[in-house]
Amino acid sequence: MSETTPLDALETRDPAEREAALLAALPAQIAHAQARTAAFGEILAGIDATAITSRAALAGLPVTRKGELLERQKARRAQDAMGGFAAIGWRGQLVTRGARRVFQSPGPIYEPEGSGADYWRLARAMRAAGFAADELIHNSFSYHLTPAGSMMETAAHALGCAVFPGGVGNTELQLQAIAELRPQAYAGTPSFLKILVEKAAETGASIASITKALVSGEAFPPSLRDWLRERGIEGYQCYATADVGLIAYETAARQGLVIDEGVIVEIVRPGTGDPVPEGEVGEVVVTTLNRDYPLIRFGTGDLSAILPGPCPTGRTAPRIRGWLGRADQTTKVRGMFVHPSQVAEVLRRHPEALRARLVVEGEMASDRMGLWVEVPADAPASLAEALAGSVRDVTKLRAEVKLVAPGSLPNDGKVISDERSLA
């Protein structure tokens, strides 16, 4: 069996079987979130969990974005540092038991870790990258404050690997450890791996034992992947967050990222909770089946798109294109903040409008807005004026409206494009 073969039979099951299993688990997870977390008790108040048995029904629930999670945590810190989102905790919290670790991400946002094996589910990504039992993994993700170090370590242990907790910095000491311990694999950011390779070449330290890597936390462009390959290291990327753990991972096919088995992923139009058609770029929204931290329709703020067809490796879960940018394109125009949700509200008022992009041009001191809107050929001539009126109503700003044919706007997930010069 190849080391990059799927971790278990879940990865190769019939897609209809997977979808049925995920949707069958959804009502219980929603009911659990409502009953065991104060935040989702409020956010999902009045929702009949037993009725959420389809993606269409799921799409009717509100999206909770990272900014809202942070604000709820800040508002409730005196009683519950987790803001009512966690079903586990420790003494002194509203939820008093079950947490093994707690982390602090920038914001600060606090995230819990429970006691389950491979808690963040990254073992699938490590297996796809070729990691195998009894190997030593050099883990250069941070072990303090943020969960990245623990995410990789718990996955490595689940595969039966040993781990060297290198953490960040101390390049010379880490190179010494690699030369003397001879690990087979690296986990960490791609940029630090590049630093290690370059420093090893400069100093003569041997890191030849490392032949594979699982990288995350940063963009991993093909140019860097090829640069590492030329130096004997086959690098793979995974997409994970401190909130929901693994979302998707790269395989030997190098054709997008395969969605993890423990999450339900939707791609929605930025600023809304409305799913977009397959292939269209939008915001990644994740519902996790983690009972300890049951985030329902969590908006990651990241852009991606669903790829058609299955992975050539035999894994049958849907694939995404990878990280394509940030979904929060809020910008300031003439002293007023303009949000993607406001562009979405303008479209909602005009069913004839299909897609839109708000373009901000000019200079910072004398900027102007234009709304480009895709409309069908038979759209009424008066639609442009009506749209302009809605823009004024919603944003309190004026915009010139330009009607364009369907498919004219780029498929890059941008709802607001700030094209102003800084002059």
Mean pLDDT over residues 163-173, rounded?
Answer: 94
Q: Is the pLDDT of residue 226 over 50?
A: yes
Residue 297's pLDDT band (cuts 50, 70, 90): very high
Positive/negative CA dihedral, 299, 304, 307, 311: negative
Residue 397 half-sphere exposure, CB side, CA atoms within 13 Å?
Answer: 24
Contact 271, 342 (CB under 8 A): yes
Q: Summarize pLDDT for 317-335 with one digit per residue, the tens.
A: 999 998 888 887 888 787 7
Q: Summarize pLDDT for 34-59 with one digit per residue, the tens.
A: 999 999 999 999 999 999 999 999 99
Tokens of 20: 């049925």
Percentage above 90 pLDDT, the chain? 80
Q: Which of 226, 326, 224 is nearest to 283 (CA)?
A: 326
First to last CA, the chain: 60
Question: How would DSSP label each residue in 179-226?
Answer: HHH--SEEEE-HHHHHHHHHHHHHHT---TT--EEEE-SS---HHHHH
- Non-local (6+) Cβ contacts of 113 within 8 A are 99, 100, 101, 102, 103, 119, 120, 147, 150
Helical spans, DSSP H, in 59-170: 66-76, 123-128, 148-158
Q: Summarize pLDDT for 332-377 with one digit per residue, the tens.
A: 787 777 888 899 899 999 999 999 999 998 865 568 899 999 999 9
Q: Is the pLDDT of residue 2 over 70?
A: no
Q: What's the pLDDT at 133? A: 97
Residue 136 CA to residue 153 CA, distance in Å, equals: 11
Q: List phi, psi (to 5°) of 30.
A: -65, -45
Q: Is the pLDDT of residue 169 over 60?
A: yes
381 CB-contact burial (10 Å; exposed 0-12 / middle 13-18 / buried 19+): exposed
Paired with 337 in beta bridges are 332
* Number of other CB atoms surrounding residue 41 within 10 Å: 13
Say which amino acid occupies 96. Answer: T
- Non-local (6+) Cβ contacts of 66 within 8 A are 107, 109, 243, 298, 299, 300, 301
Q: What's the pLDDT at 3? A: 57
Residue 140 parent element (H or E): none
Question: How would DSSP label each residue in 364-388?
Answer: TTEEEEEEEEE--TT--TTHHHHHH
Q: What's the pLDDT at 340? A: 87
Contact 53, 26 (CB under 8 A): yes
Q: What's the pLDDT at 245? A: 97
Reduced to 3 states (helix: H, G, I; strand: E, B; else coil), residue 268 is strand
Question: Can you tell me which residue has the tokens 């600060």?
Answer: 108
Reduced to 3 states (helix: H, G, I; strand: E, B; else coil), residue 298 is strand
Rounded mean pLDDT of the chain? 93
Contact 29, 262 (CB under 8 A): no
Q: What is the DSSP letter of 146?
A: S
